[in-house]
Amino acid sequence: TSRLIREIEAALQRVEQSPQDAARPAEREAQCLIDRFCSECDRLDILVGKQPANEEREREALLRTSFTPNDSTSVLIDRSLAHNDSLNTANKRVDDMLAQGLLDNLGDQRAMLKRAHRGMLGVLNTLGFVGHSDATN
């Protein structure tokens, strides 16, 4: 259709540019293209209007149908929502601990316990418990 429009435009330009005595064939060509365009438009109107009656009935039935949630789907969604809520809660609590400096405190406690563990292993080595000196991590 767009190609036909371009052809009509070109034909109309030829009509405008041609001298008076030679304009008649260019006018006939332009009119022929315009008639062809009109028939294409009419054909498209018919095709658009042709919707199978069965499809139209199905469409109307679907529009009148009220849908209810599927039980298995809602269970899956409920589980996913609960899981998501749990993850959000855990994330918020970790953020709170970071804001309060609890994780830094836990790291300090770990280092202190590690030093105490090494000290105990040193005492055990001194006392002669040689088998325990291997675990100095």
Q: Is residue 71 part of a domain?
A: no
Measured CA to CA in angstroms, residue 52 lies from 44, 47, 48, 58, 68 at distances of 16, 11, 11, 10, 29
Pair 117, 84 in one domain: yes
Q: What's the rounded mean pLDDT across residues 21-35? A: 83
Q: What's the rounded mean pLDDT across residues 7-28? A: 82
pTM of the model: 0.36
Residue 19 in tokens: 């001298």
Of 133 and 6, the one with more pLDDT: 6
Q: Tell me, what's the pLDDT at 47?
A: 72
pLDDT, tens only, 78-128: 778 888 889 899 988 888 877 777 667 777 888 888 999 998 888 888 888
Pair 84, 127 in one domain: yes
For residue 89, the enclosing domain spans 76-132
Is the pLDDT assigned to residue 29 strictly greater than 70? yes
